[in-house]
Amino acid sequence: MENVRFSIIENDLKWNSESDQAADVDLLLDKRSISSEANSAGVFSDEAHEIFARQQQNQILWELEEIEETLSATPRAKHVLDMVRSGCFLELMADSSDCSLALICCSVFGSVENIQYLLSHYNADPNAADSRGRTPLHFACCRANAPIAKVLLDHGSDPNRWDAKKEVTSLHCAASSKSVECILLLLRRKASINIGIEKRSALHYAIDVNAVECAEILLKYGADPNTPQVYTETPLHTASAAGFAKCVQLLLDHNADVRSQFGEGKVTALHLAAENDYVECARLLLEHHAEVDCRNASHQTPLHLACLSQSIGTVDLLISYGANVNAVYRDGRTALHAAIVKQSRCLDCCNALLKAGADVNKADNYGYTPLHIAALNEFSSCVYTFIEHGADITARTDGHVSALSFIVRRTPEIIPKLMQKLDRSIKANDHEIGDVDCQIKLDFRLLVPSSSMERGETELLLSLIEVGQKRILMHPLCETFLFLKWRRIRKFFLMSLAYHTLFVLLFTLYVIRVFVRCCKEGEECLAPGYVSTIGYLVIILNLILLGKEVFQMAHGLHGYAKYWENWLQWTIVFGVLLCVSPKILQTGDLLAVPVWQHHVAAVVILLVWLELMMLVGRFPIFGVYVQMFTKVAVNFGKFLLAYICLLVAFGLSFAVLFNDYPAFENIPWTFLKSITMMSGELEFEDIFYGDYAVKFPVTAHIIFLSFVLLVTVILTNLMVGLAVSDIQGLQVSATLDRLVRQAELVSRLESLFFSRLLRSAPTNLIQLCKRSALLRTSRDKLQFTIRPNDPRDNQLPEDIKVNIYKLVAERRDRNQSLRRRQFENNYNFFSRSLQRQQELPQRESLQPEPMFPVPNKTPQNLFHMHELLRPRSATNVPQQLRQEQEGAVQLKNQANVLSAVQAEVQAIKTQLGELVAKFERFSENATRKLNYSADELCRLRHQQQGQSSSNHHTHRHHR
């Protein structure tokens, strides 16, 4: 496990603080400490830590207490300090060292007159130093005391003198104290402005304390904003690490180099600004052409550091300047890997990166994608966001752990959301759900990973089975997908079944012709001529089977070893090689067949047909029956192991009591006989009343009766009940078991076409097989449309269509209920608001006058609120009035909306009334016309009858 360094290291918060660090520096670091990666040039690098700590120390270069402590270590220091405070210098004439010490003390505690007096009357050395090499001019500039510094310089104090450690000069002290007067005074006295630039110049100290005016003067007088040595700290690094935007702007205006790198980490100013979320500094650096994708020693870009420190503002800025969101640093991690840390801005950083086109499925050197890390650290919001942006939940690490496995164990609340996404992948058009023209579209893109052209399309379903979420396969989308996949890939399975069937038939014919015939010794016994041909065909087919098993094993040994059928195949392969003897094939002499081959042939022919049965059981329609057999057989084996002691006990007892009976003469066969008697074959008459005498009749009858009751009756019925219980359980879960077997079979067949072993195979053939197996290459691609109410649509089985129809119908009813409930709530709210507005004038007339007058008090701008019940005071009345006015405005707006709704309702009622009146008028006219038509029809009928009768009379008259 140590080889696989979990990327979770980025999420274990660990503060990178030293034990002797100041408390306020800890507070500054606490805001930005992200992870344990800070120890290895990660967030808050060692360079940034060093700058922060030094800036805090340099705000006051030397504390007054520290100076007193240093001076107190000097002999006679207390005596000198007392004289300096009292202003009496008569005793200093005795010792010149006392004069130097007094001068130092006066530069710290004294006044200009004391300094002038010591230099003029006692010839005190202006370049005298304490134990740390600090002169009076150092202290005067550190205390920003320009008059004392001027006096010291007038008496020959050296402005370029270092302290004992050669860290600071007087100019450094003046810059640290933000003293513009001291800086100008020193520069006019020829102080070296770039002294110490190899490490830290006066400009560095001015930037440390954000002394913009001092830095501007130093730059005006020729201070170099860059350092002559590489990988040293420049003033731009200092300003960027502290977030001093004005100093950064000043340095950039004086041609500071934005490309310079600092320290072993080789960080640039942009790295420091990005990791500390100083957006303005980063913007200034980028505007002056800082490289947005520059890398430090760990190959981190500023975007990586900004994501690790959750600097969302800097992340957006860097992205807007074209930062590469897919750039990788140590261990192959991207900015999206770095953004997943335990802070509140994690989701914002991830959303910004994803919006900029970050690869959500990019894996690090150990196979961990951002989805793995988010799930491993229980960031459910990030996990769901990644899934929404197309993250592959079937992606596996180098240890073959899928992201779905982490999701199920660490963020199980994502599973219901995944089910909701499956539901949303089934959509119906705008027609009524019971209409014939209603179309339902199924989108399978959620089930198919984005890299399915290299890995297959059933990885997600197989992963669901592995992590114990196989019930998701019963979702209509998954069930439809499996049905379509099986329809695409079953031709390959049928080819495999045909091959195994041919192999079994040929081997069976060979066994019958070679091992079943009885040949007497001394007679010539030859096999038919076609046996040799069958034997060679069996050998060829067996070698093909051997090659197939070797290919599957090389394709994936881990998955290959899990299925016991593969080991059965190896047994068959070696058994067939032992049975088919080349000598028999050449000579055809059956008498030359050794006896051991008969034993092998008997076992192999059984295994061959058993394997064919298991292969047929992979068909969806036959699978449940074969599974019943295997499940009962496995449980019977467990059952037999549990009660084997009972069978052994009766077997040994029978061997003692019936030792003359042939079946019990041999101890091993007594066990087989006991199991046979368990099935009901007791042979009571043969044992007790046959040709063999029973030596112990009483004991034998008692033991035999015990066997009948305990084994034949109780144990056998218990076994039958267990088998019936297993079968009933399988029938209940028959659909789910069928889907699981179907998914495993499809995945196993499909994975063979994506094996790395086929890279040398003909490309056109492999692509043809992939196009035939993949659903995305079919006519419907990854979207499938059905008409559930159209009897002519027979693309799917009826049960699947019913499940899809139920899902869509229930969702539509649920959405309509929610919309209806929401409308009712809004309507009730508007009604209550309008009623409250109408009752408001009456309430206001009954209430006493307020303590403070309300301006423009009218019923239209007052709103009765709960705050009115509180005691009025001078602090809450203005706020109360403002809330009343805001409430009145909101109520007025709501009343306007309600009035508009009531007006629309009234208009609809008016239109409905007009339509009803028109319909009534139309009905009356139609009734009138129908009556008129009926009368006319009757009249015409009477006329016709009268005319026919008159014609009849006329005819009779003529006759």
Q: Which of 544-548, 590-594, 932-936 has maximum average pLDDT?
A: 544-548
* Residue 429, SS3 per DSSP: coil
* Residue 784, SS3 per DSSP: strand
- Please enumerate, as own/partner, the contacts of 603-609 that have beta carbons within 8 Å and a separation of 24 or more: 603/575, 604/507, 604/571, 604/572, 604/575, 604/576, 604/578, 604/579, 605/507, 605/508, 605/511, 607/568, 607/571, 607/572, 607/575, 608/503, 608/504, 608/507, 608/508, 608/572, 608/576, 609/504, 609/508
With a cut of 80, say whether residue 703 has pLDDT above it: yes
Contact 26, 389 (CB under 8 A): no
User: In the chain, pLDDT over 90 holds for what percent of residues?
Assistant: 18
- pLDDT, one tens digit per residue, over 151-184 is 888 888 888 888 888 888 989 999 988 889 999 9
With a cut of 60, say whether residue 658 has pLDDT above it: yes
Contact 171, 197 (CB under 8 A): no
Question: Which pLDDT score, from 0 to 100, does residue 854 have?
Answer: 42
Least confident of 302-316, 344-358, 430-444: 430-444
With a cut of 60, say whether residue 367 has pLDDT above it: yes
Q: What pTM does this model have?
A: 0.69
Max Cα-Cα span within the chain: 186
Positive or negative: CA dihedral 545, 548, 549, 550: positive
- pLDDT, one tens digit per residue, over 318-331 is 999 999 999 999 88
Q: Is 755 exposed, middle or buried (0-12, 13-18, 19+ CB in 10 A)?
A: middle
Q: How does 541-574 read in b/e, with b if 16+ C-beta sit within 10 Å? A: bbeebbeebeebeebeeebeeeeeeeeebeebbe
Dist CA 139 CA 143 (whole Å): 6
With a cut of 80, say whether residue 140 has pLDDT above it: yes
In this structure, which amino acid lies at residue 561? Answer: A
The mean pLDDT of the chain is: 78
In this structure, which amino acid lies at residue 601? Answer: A
Higher pLDDT, 560 or 180: 180
| Phi, psi dihedral angles at 681 (to 5 degrees) | -85, 80
Dist CA 341 CA 664 (whole Å): 74
Please count the other Cβ atoms lying within 10 Å of the Cβ belonging to residue 505.
13
Least confident of 57-61, 332-336, 397-401, 621-625: 57-61
